[in-house]
Amino acid sequence: MRKSASIYLILCFIPIFIQAQNNFRLDTVRVDKNDSRNIHTYKNNGTTSDAPEKTNKVITKSNEINGFDKTKLRFGANLGLSLSRNYTVLGLGPQIGYSFRNHFMAGAGIKYYYTKTRAYDYGDSYLYKNNLLGANIFGYIYPIKFITIFAQPELNYLWTSVENETTNEVSKDSGIVPSIVVGAGFRLGFTHITFNYDLIHEVNSPYPEGLFLGVSAFF
């Protein structure tokens, strides 16, 4: 009788045990469905965007500060060199530009030029020496990749001397000489080859009359 009772009790507890196994869960604490601790919310939505997660973020120093990107700075120079018995030109003009867009660059620069020219008049020899110190602003427009349009207003201070080599008489003069140089030509990388013209062309302009060739390079 006892053996039958024991078997009966075991058979009664088997369904209860199986049911308990099927309903056993690790998260037995009840939480609100919107609570961040409710793991079923993320499973049901198929996402873990709201779940706390660990991220390894590397903070790098940006090249852009308040909209200014230093990688868009361009440094260049205009150089002048010509040596002969009757004509000498020495010049240096550092420039700094900024590429605002792919189709426009603008900037400013300074320059120093020294020229020496010998001329003859009625048997007399005259030696002209000019020193020029100037500042300019400039802009390059690129309507297409390899074509450029150029403009450069500038203000130069010139001091000059003229010596009559026959009589050794020397006269000196100085003053401000403005120029507005415009041009167009080709762009090869950061090098510009343009045909330019000085719109003002005062008597003491550092530029020749008519069209002249200009070369500038930026890096």
**What is the pLDDT at residue 49?**
47
**What is the pLDDT at residue 98?**
96
User: Residue 109 — φ and ψ, nearest 5°?
Assistant: -165, 170
CB atoms within 10 A of CB 206: 21
CA atoms of 73 and 213, how far apart (whole Å) = 25
How many angstroms separate the Cα of 89 from the Cα of each of 129, 134, 144, 173, 177? 10, 16, 34, 19, 18
**β-sheet bridge partners, residue 136:** 109, 154
**What is the pLDDT at residue 46?**
52
Report, as ranges of residue numbers, the positions in the chain whose pLDDT lies below 50: 5, 9, 13, 15-18, 20, 22-24, 26, 48-52, 57-60
**What is the pLDDT at residue 67?**
77
| Interior/surface letters 57-83, b for 16+ CB within 10 angstroms, e for the rest | eeeeeeeeeeeeeeeeebebbbeeeee
Contacts of 89 (CB under 8 A, 6+ apart): 80, 81, 82, 113, 114, 115
CA atoms of 68 and 57, how far apart (whole Å) = 24
pLDDT per residue over 121-176, tens digit each? Answer: 888 899 999 999 999 999 999 999 899 999 999 999 999 999 999 899 999 999 99
Domain architecture of the chain: domains with CATH: 67-218 (2.40.160.20)
CA atoms of 207 and 149, how far apart (whole Å) = 18
